[in-house]
Amino acid sequence: MTPNGQFILHVTTGGERWDLLAWRYYGDPTDYSPIIVANPNVPIEPVFDAGISIAVPILQKSAVVTADLPPWKLPQAASA
């Protein structure tokens, strides 16, 4: 999952959730499973209390193959 077990340590503030951490670190709120798996001692609750240490795995993302993407999902070139 992570190269050499690399993690980012995140200390929660009150009200944070698993999906918010996934959004913050991965850009996808549905990609919270690796964070939950990396933290077996943290209860799966809807909202975190402040001060909980969470290990966020550093994931290797593969390149997106754009050949099969619809036009609205293709990367846009920066306009001059």
- The token pair at 2 is 């992570």
Q: Is 55 helix (H, G, I), strand (E, B) or coil?
A: strand
65 has pLDDT over 80: no
Whether the Cβ atoms of residue 49 and residue 14 lie closer than 8 Å to each other: yes
Q: Which bin fits 15, alpha (ψ -120 to 50), beta or left (φ > 0)? A: left
- The token pair at 30 is 């549905």
Rounded to an integer, the average pLDDT of 65-77 is: 72
Identify which of 5-9, 36-40, 73-77 has the greatest average pLDDT: 36-40
Tokens 């966020």 locate to 56
Q: What is the pLDDT of residues 2-35, one digit of tens each?
A: 445 799 999 999 999 999 999 999 999 999 999 9
CA 31 centroid distance within chain: 5
